[in-house]
Structure 1
């Protein structure tokens, strides 16, 4: 697949609005960053999973969007297994996904993206993905989007 341009990236990222982010991390070969979303923030909707692969990704910054006051009330290990909070004052980590709201920002260029583009000969972009658990800031050169089959595993411990 040929490289996508900023407009195509923006169009693909528009689909992330209010989806459920269920996994993010570098691929096992550590060059690309993958974001896996469930087709709806509502797990009862039964929609499939989609992989957004940010290719040639030299920088990702992940910051918690859960405030310190909520963190302080959300340290209980039981919340790792709790799918819904017993009150709004805690974060139920066990929900196993976070709503991407407001979602993805527009692809931007910066001094750093221009420097990488100049050195590598391909365009680079920066985007922000914002959810109710994390904010991800990614710098990358290309994006591919694919549907995932049941059983997809981003990493397997070798035998």
Structure 2
């Protein structure tokens, strides 16, 4: 869970989440990447109002960038304007970048942003998933599996520990 300071800012924890990412894609592996942000963007992220539901990651000039993520302007009295949907550079090691870009070109995988969070040191990080798109029947299977797990947990709770 996210801890909050007295000022209402998130010191560490999840700032934005892509809840549909794990539903629409079967995630093969995840990578934690740094994000290049400006000061007001970090403050706005700490307020927890960002959205990465429609965001995607891709290659530009041999580097991986985050496109179409929404970070609203910070309203804390600072008069610095920035583009709310600007592409943001992701910080990864060269080997990680080569591995991810190779998987995207060879296997047709997608780079799915899963969440933006603050680590224990207070640095903004993006969890990036390498995923294959799911078909409609796979999504139905995932829904059925999730429902069964929930019903099973309910049954076990109602039975108690003496089963």
TM-score by length of 2: 0.28
Q: Which has the larger radius of gyration?
A: 2
